[in-house]
Every structure is written in structure tokens, then in C-alpha cells.
Chain A
Amino acid sequence: MVTEIINSYYNQVKHQDWYFNFNLFTIVEYCLLTYFIYRLIRSKVLRTIILVMSVVYLVISIYDIIGPDFNSYDALSSSLETLFLILFSVFYLFEQISKPDHIFFYAIPEFWVIVAILIYFSGTFFLVNYAQSLLKNESTKVQYSLINTTFDLLKSLLLSVAMVVKGGDKKNNQFSRIDFGNLDEHLNLNR
């Protein structure tokens, strides 16, 4: 919504193209998703890596958005966003392997959100890299949209699963967290 407001300002007042909005949206999207993953990760080392990478990303992206080419498609910023978010998702999954705290990993909404992020950004990784050339003519633009929309739908589907899981059986969610003090209860659930 914020990016839309800013975009309409640029369109109406400054008469600029939609690329600025796209670049701004990329930064906002990166910040929100990174913050979400950052909050889930417990390891201090991984958190520091995320922070450092985010600083690098923001410096590059903000420079691009306020630089002379601010109104053209910024492939570097989008590629970095895609790459970093895939990495952060892998960090989260890696942490869940090394220090698991849920028996039913797939019964928590966070898992499905991370899977949505991972699949969407993995699927559109190459697309984002070649977006500049693909968006130049109408026929490749259609194919670009087709692939992008497919992964967008998949992402929405996975996010819906996350919402369903969150609103589902609360008792199961509660017991999916490993409580070694209540081991018997866990074992009964597993049988």
C-alpha cells in the first residue's frame, strides 16, 4: 500500500514510470520478509550474517533507487533479494535440523511461510535475472508473466496453508512443540 501511494505520487506529480515503484517494492518486500525470518532464527551467528547481508543489500538498493538510473529496472537489487531470501530460508531450515523444537515441523505456520518464500524465490530466480531482457517485447513479457504468476499462485497457496495451519487444531499445534518434560505425552501422540 505504501509503495502504491508513493508510486501514484511519482506518476501524477513527477510523471515517472512504474519501475521506481517496482524497485521500492523490492526493498520493502525484502525488509519485511527478512525481518520475519530474522525473528524466527535463534542462532546469533546466523542472525549476524543476516544483518550484515541486509546492510549490504540496503546500501546497494538504496543507492540504485536514489541514483541516476532510479527509473529503470534494477536487476541487481532484485537478484540479490532473491538470492538472500533463498539463503535465509535455508538458514531457518538448517537451524530446524540442527536444533529441532517441533515434532510436527509441518504443523507450524512458520514452516509453510518459509516454504512459500523458498519456492517462490527459487522459481523466479532465473526469471528475475533475465527480467530486463524479457520485459522488452510483448511475447516474452507474456511468458514472463506466466511463470511469475504460476509461482505467485503457488506462493499464495502455501501461505493459505500457513493460515489454515494456524487456525487449525490448536491442541495439535501445542503438542507439536517438543517438551521433554512431557515425553510420555509425546510418545502417546506418536503411537
Chain B
Amino acid sequence: MLTSANILFGIVFLGQIFLISYYFPQKILARMDYVRTSFPKSQYPRLYPKPAEYYVVGRWAFKLATRIILALGFVILFSIIFLVDHATFADDGFISEAFPAAYGIIQFLPLMALEISEFSQYKLMRKAHVATTRTAELSRRGLFNFISPTLLGMALAMYFGAILLDLYAHQFELAWGHDTVQRTIVLTITNLLLAAVGAWILYGKKLSPHQTANDRIKHIKTSLHSFFYISMAMSVFWMTQAADDIYDLDFLDATIMSVYFQLIILLSIGHTLRNMRLEDIDFDLYKERPAT
């Protein structure tokens, strides 16, 4: 059924389909092609710990998966607008936020698979790296070497702001199983997870054994900024949920969820692709040279 809320959701959901399953996958595929043609296995063998066919098949599988999910998105959009009876499907009679949320999770699957594959590549690189000398920068890596205290302050203020707004929306009612408690737990756990991964990136072992100190600094800076932006986006999302309860904006639930998924991809993969330019990475270290 075509109502103004449904049309608005349709436009926003179209953005989600395009952004996560077409625009960013295309960018990633272009980067894969650039690396494979500019730094071929014949000259940069240390960049490819697996046989060349593996990367061809991997690229093909990633493209196929994103294209199937793209097509699925259009089917879901058509069904939501024209086929699903929202009056019986959802309690409030509006488009359920479960649609963009479930589809968003499916959209992220190929990207997650790519990330896991990247980790396994780095593991193989470390295994193949047999140098007897090890180097390290004798300078301390602290959180504030990479992000400003203002950014940390803003993220913390938004985290507490989101919890306070939720408490206000529910008359400071605190009971186990209540919405506010659940949201606070989810927000806290997700932030703790981001903090743990951030600490691992900051102080942990470097993923690629060939990475230069400058490239590592760039990687840490980009990742930490991305995590802080994601944390702030999550806080904003929970604030909109609280506002939704105060102002009774149920008809916008699905649209907000779709915007949230788009925001997450922009702040994670979008931010990384924009800041980790391939032209700035030192690929010469991946050329063949005798082990030291």
C-alpha cells in the first residue's frame, strides 16, 4: 500500500540496498583489481600467500554474493510496499524495523567473509615470514596520539546522553527486562567490544609482518576514528529510539533502522576506504627479497 510513510521508507531502503550491496562492493572490487594489476604475484609474491586462483575465485564469489543480495533487496522492497499486510504483520500496523535490520545483516555477510579472509591471509603471511631480526618503534602508542580528547569526550557524552534520554523517556523506571535496561546493556556491550578491538589494534601484534611503521600508524588512526564514529552513531540511534517512545513515531521505526545501517557502513567501510588510500601504502615491502 502506498502511504507517505511507505514511500519515505521505500526511498531510504533503496539507499540501503544500493549503498551496502552495490556502491561499496564495487569500490572494494575496484581496489582488488587495482592491487592485482599494479602489484602482480610475479613481482610481489609476499602479498599473495595463497595460489593466484584463490584470489580470482574469491573475487568472483564476493561479486556473486553481493549481486544476489542486491537482487534480494529489490524483491524485499517490492514485497514490503505491495505484498505484506502490515496491519497483521506488525502490532502497530506500520512497516516493521525487522525488515531493514534482517536485510542489513544479510548485506553485511559478504563483507564479514571478506574481513575473515583478510585475517587468514595475514596469518599465512606471518607464518611465511621467517626473518631472524625483529624491529619495533621505540615510541609509545597512546590513545591520544591517534584521537583527540574532544572526540573521546563527545563519544562518552553521547553514550551517557543516550542512556539518560532513554531513562527520561521511561520516567526513570528501572526494572530488569525493561526496555531501558536492555538498551543500556546492548549499548554498553557493543561499546566495550569496540574498545577491546581498539585496544587490540593499538597495542597488539601487527597483522602484516611487512607493514611499515607509517602504514601501521595510518591504520590505527583510521580504525580508531571509525570506532568512535560508530559508537557515536549507535548512541544517536538509541536516542532516536527514546525519542520514538516520547513522540510516538512508530511509523518511522523501519526508516530509522535503514538509515542506521547506512550510517554504520559509511562510518566503517566508507571511512576506511576514504582514509586508507592504496596509493599511500608501501607495497615495495611485499616484493621478493632474501630472508634476513
Whether A and B are associated in the same complex: the answer reads no
- Seen from chain B, the residues whose Cβ lies within 8 Å of a Cβ on chain A are none
A interface residues (Cβ-Cβ under 8 A, vs B): none
